[in-house]
Structures are given as C-alpha cells and as structure tokens.
Amino acid sequence: MMQISSLQLTGWAVLAPMAGVTDAPFRLLCHEQGAPLTYTEMISAKGYLCAPADNRAQRDLLHTEPGAGPTALQLFGTDVQSVSAAAQRILENHAFCLVDINMGCPAPKITASGAGSALMRDVRLAARIVRAAASALAVPVTIKMRIGWDDAQRNAVDFALAMEESGAAAVTVHGRTRAQQYAGTANWDAIGEVKARLRIPVLGNGDAFTVADAAALRAHTGCDGVMIGRGAMGNPWIFDGIRRLDAGIPPRNRDAAEKLALAARHLDMMVAWKGEPAAVPEMRKHMAWYCKGLHGAARMRVRINSAQSAAEMRGCLNELVSLQQPDRLRP
C-alpha cells in the first residue's frame, strides 16, 4: 500500500510516464497486471492550451481505456499560469487522480525551453509552478525530478525540500543527473538521501528492470514506492511479479504463446482505437520489446518493422511462437 495525500494505492510499484510508450492500451495492460497507478505520456501545458479543441494528438494523449484504474496526468512547462490552467481545464473533462509536473526529462528539445530537468536549475520558478498548481487543483500535485543537472550541480535534497514546502504531495527521484541522460548507473544512494529528509512520499526511479531490482531499490533507499519505466517495456508482467512477491506467492513463468498473445491483444486495442494505418507503425517498437529474448526474435523484428498491416504483424507473432523450443524460453 502507498498513500499520496488523499489517494490510497493498492501497491508500491507504479508505471512511469514515457513519451511514445505509455499509451492508453499499454497503461490498461499494466494496470491489469497489478500496476496501482499509471501516468499519461508527458503533455505540454502551453501546447494543450493553444491546440484546437478537436486536436487529435491532444485527445490521444488524454485518452484512457475503460477499467484502466487510477491514472495520473503528467504536464511539463515553465509558465506558472499555463501549467495550472492546463491542469484545471483537463481535469474538467478527465478523471485523472493526480497531476505530476515533469522536472526530470533530459531531452534537449524539452530542456532548451527551460522545462523538464532544466527546472532543477531554477528552484524558485519550479517552486512557484508547484505552489500555484497545488493551490488551484483539487487533486494532489507531485513532481518527477533527477538528482541534479550534472555532477557539479547535484541539488536533489534541497530541490525536493523546496517542492515539499511549495505543496508537492510526493516526489519521484530518478537517480541520474540530466547530463547522464540514461547512461551509467542510477545513484540509489542519492534517492535515499532525499527520502531521509522529506516527510511526503518519495518514489525511487532508475534501473528497476526486474522484480528483484524494484525490491532492491525500495530496500536500499527506504523509498515509499518505485516507479518502473524501461523495465515495463514489453513486460507488463513485472507488476504481477511484484504483486506476487508482496503476497508471498511464487513468480509465474509465461511461455512465448502467452507473451505474444498479449502483444497481439495490444495490437488489436491500438487498431480499434487509432485505426490500422496509425496503429501499425506505433506498435513496431512495442512488438520488438514483447519479442525480446525469444528464439528468432532478431530476424522477426526485421519483418515486424517492415510490416504494413496488422495481419502481417499477427502472422509474425504466430510464426515466432512456432519457432520456440521449451529449453530456449526465457523464464
């Protein structure tokens, strides 16, 4: 169990917001496997406010599937009024359970505008954004941050304390600097330092690729929860593994047929939602992740990446199942 302000969650491992990955169908699949909270892809506050009401891209980012469980809205931006205004307008029409403000994205196109992890170099502005949102919204406001801009500007503890004082209900700390991007090893000690100083919940993020990793991150840092990103790509079952770990139930191995059946379901959901021409290109990366570790996956990925129809993709999945031998399956 984990509680963020008035929001009570049924577990401690949540799905991270990932641009181009955590679409509505994938969030539903992760929730079904046990993720107690999932996040939308990162949405520009100003972009949302400026977009026409019928903008398809914005509608897709905000779409949720029935039964998807508690879902958090993640916004980014540097304008104090815009972040609050966008959140308010979105919450009028969507039942998101909290608003998370991104202060950790390292992508140059985000940091160039002063948003994402660049906000860690402007504590006063970051605090004003959080304070305004927390005052205006009826749901909890949280942030996602890094441990600093680079090794010379590591300010995770001071930054997190300022966000707590400004009204943040929880913080998620990715254990890398912005300069590291996603290279090297996540600094779990730095996450623990933040947890030791804050009164609000702290979630750890970084290098939780397996159930054992997630449990180790939580134990090492003392954090209240763990946010899982890349470890869930093509592997929504990681949340079931964590749920089983908590319940003292042995982990469940899945064969290739079961794994690829879920991949096919993900494809079908995307086609039903976006239509085949849009769904097939978007599903290529997901298919590559689902196939990872299976015999013949490298060759099949080439065919999947050139597939022009859902039927072609399903054919690749069926053929890949037939290539498996029991002793070649990854547990």
Res 328: pLDDT: 46
Q: Are the C-beta atoms of residues 202 and 195 closer than 8 Å to each other?
A: yes
Distances (CA, A) of 220 to 52, 170, 196, 315: 46, 19, 12, 44
Architecture in CATH for domain 2-247:
Alpha-Beta Barrel (3.20)
Res 60: pLDDT: 94
> What's the rounded Cα separation, in Å, for the pair 304 and 260?
13
Res 326: pLDDT: 62
Give me the residue label for tokens 């941050």: 145
Q: Are the C-beta atoms of residues 252 and 317 closer than 8 Å to each other?
A: no
Res 1: pLDDT: 83
Count of positions (residues) in the chain: 331
Mean pLDDT by 10 residues, the chain (331 residues): 95 97 97 98 97 91 96 98 98 97 97 98 98 98 98 97 98 98 97 98 98 98 98 98 96 93 97 96 96 93 95 96 68 35
Instruction: List residues with catalytic annotation.
Output: 105
Task: Read off the pTM.
Answer: 0.95
List the one residue out of 39, 98, 46, 44 whose CA is nearest residue 76: 44
Read off the DSSP letter of residue 220. Answer: H
Res 141: pLDDT: 98
Residues 6+ apart with CB under 8 A from 298: none
Res 53: pLDDT: 83
Q: Are the C-beta atoms of residues 118 and 150 closer than 8 Å to each other?
A: no
Q: Which two tokens stand for residue 57?
A: 């891209």
> What's the rounded Cα separation, in Å, for the pair 212 and 64?
30
Residues 6+ apart with CB under 8 A from 98: 4, 5, 7, 72, 73, 139, 140, 141, 142, 169
Architecture in CATH for domain 256-323:
Orthogonal Bundle (1.10)
Q: Are strands 98-103 and 7-9 parallel, antiparallel or unpaired?
A: unpaired
> What's the rounded Cα separation, in Å, for the pair 83 and 48?
10
The residue extents of the domains of the chain are: 2-247, 256-323
Res 325: pLDDT: 67
Q: Are the C-beta atoms of residues 85 and 129 closer than 8 Å to each other?
A: no
Burial of 230 (C-beta count, 10 Å sphere; 0-12/13-18/19+): middle
List the one residue out of 261, 249, 120, 104 whose CA is nearest residue 175: 104
